[in-house]
Amino acid sequence: MVNVGVLGATGMVGQRFIELLGDHPDFEITALTASKRSAGKRYEDAVTWYLDSPIPEVARDIKVVDTDPAEVKDVEIVFSALPADIALNVEPKFAEAGMTVASNAAAMRMEPDVPLVIPEVNPEHLELLEIQQKNRGWEGSIVTNPNCSTIALTMTLKPLYDEFDIERVYVSTMQAVSGAGYDGVPSMAIVDNLVPFIGGEEEKMETETLELLGDLEDGVLTPANFGVSASCHRVAVVDGHTEAVFIEFADDFEVDDVEKSLREFQGMPQKLDLYSAPQPPIIVREEDNRPQPRMDRNAEKGMAVTVGRIRKDAAFDKSLRYVLVGHNTIRGAAGASILNAELINEIM
């Protein structure tokens, strides 16, 4: 068993980390950090638990400590659910202290020597870790995962990008309220309503997607060369982001080939049979009214992306449309970081 810690353990994503790590066969939670206000308390007393599963036994009695590497002893991996501004300061200190930081925070994602990784999409970008350690003189390292809506989108783009020539992607999201944290979206904004704006989300989808599908050569990343245009909206759904995707290819294509490509996709986590790897990573549904967030978000314990309504554009032969659902706080956040850590633990 590898000892692990969770940084920012009392927030929504922190809680998902603890839920998913609660019965993990290889990782054992031995440290939990939070803000000063919580430090010193038992986890169960420090947290307002928002999930509908109970707090895992292993976490209840752990004494919460400050988010400071000096307080986190005998831990190999820390999972970071920190707010971006705190992450920026603190994550490097944990890496410096020799720990692997598997971070869900956006803070370090765009650093050229910090890999932004989805294990099914670009495991080879982990090469950057060595460069990072050398550059920064760290014994530990930082690996990040993309933002929630990007992960679900890019997992479905990966097999298509490998087989077809993508020219442009338009994506319109219908995102769950949990993505904004427990207090993030007032109910006045969402009952009988939706909000057509999520700060910074469109920019993340438009840049991270291309990085993930980019080529790394000699430590230099060349992003994929097509356009991504996103419109992001918040709807009255608790968990599970839905995305309507339109893709313009360079050439004509068969819908059956697209479906086959999605269905048969296997990434490195599947090949290595990692504990949290969904099998399959992409589920294709035939019903005309699926995927739906409440019905499909928990597929493969929330780690698979479900795709449906795969169809050609009526007017334009080279255009494809589909709808996807992914669990935003599992596949799109805590589960993503854990899968990154499992991959590193396995291959490095």
Say whether residue 302 binds a copy of itself (CB under 8 A): no
Site string (89-128) toward a copy of itself, x via CB under 8 A = ----------------------------------------
125 belongs to the catalytic site? no
**Backbone phi, psi, residue 236, to 5°:** -80, 65
Say whether residue 165 binds a copy of itself (CB under 8 A): no
Contact between 40 and 62 under an 8 Å Cβ cutoff? The reply is no
- Applying CB under 8 A, which of residues 50, 84, 112, 130 lies at the interface with a copy of itself? 50
Select 182 or 257, whichever has its Cβ closest to a copy of itself.
Answer: 182
Say whether residue 188 binds a copy of itself (CB under 8 A): yes
- Applying CB under 8 A, which of residues 45, 112, 316, 347 lies at the interface with a copy of itself? 316
Question: Which of 24, 125, 241, 327 is flagged as catalytic?
Answer: 241
> Which H or E run includes 270?
helix 268-272
Pairing relationship of beta strands 65-66 and 27-34 according to DSSP bridges? parallel
Select 218 or 286, whichever has its Cβ closest to a copy of itself.
Answer: 286
Question: Which of 125, 148, 232, 327 is flagged as catalytic?
Answer: 148
In the block, which residue shows the tokens 């839920």? 19
241 belongs to the catalytic site? yes
Tell me how far apart the alpha carbons of residues 104 and 15 are, in angstroms, rounded to a whole number: 13
Say whether residue 195 binds a copy of itself (CB under 8 A): yes
Say whether residue 45 binds a copy of itself (CB under 8 A): no
Say whether residue 294 binds a copy of itself (CB under 8 A): yes
Say whether residue 70 binds a copy of itself (CB under 8 A): no
- Applying CB under 8 A, which of residues 42, 136, 260, 309 lies at the interface with a copy of itself? 309
For 59, 67, 79, 205, 297, the CA distances from 49, given in Å and listed in that order, are 12, 19, 18, 30, 20
* Of residues 197, 247, 251, 241, the one with CA closest to residue 227: 247
* Of residues 203, 209, 343, the one with CA closest to residue 277: 343
Tell me how far apart the alpha carbons of residues 115 and 348 are, in angstroms, rounded to a whole number: 14
Tell me how far apart the alpha carbons of residues 161 and 145 are, in angstroms, rounded to a whole number: 19
Q: Is 337 left (phi over 0), alpha (psi -120 to 50) or beta?
A: alpha
Tell me how far apart the alpha carbons of residues 308 and 332 are, in angstroms, rounded to a whole number: 19
Select 89 or 193, whichever has its Cβ closest to a copy of itself.
Answer: 193
Q: Which stretch binds a copy of itself (CB under 8 A): 49-57, 64-72, 121-129, 213-221?
A: 49-57
Say whether residue 42 binds a copy of itself (CB under 8 A): no
Site string (244-283) toward a copy of itself, x via CB under 8 A = x-x-------------------------------------
Site residues (CB under 8 A) for a copy of itself, limited to 205-234: 206, 226-229, 231, 233
Q: Give the type of residue at 253.
A: F
Contact between 332 and 151 under an 8 Å Cβ cutoff? The reply is yes
In the block, which residue shows the tokens 């290819």? 249
For 108, which DSSP code?
T
Residues near a copy of itself (CB under 8 A)? 50, 52-53, 168, 170, 172, 174, 177-178, 182-197, 202-203, 206, 226-229, 231, 233, 235-238, 242, 244, 246, 288-298, 308-309, 313-316, 319, 321, 323
User: Could you give the residue numbers annotated as active site?
Assistant: 148, 241
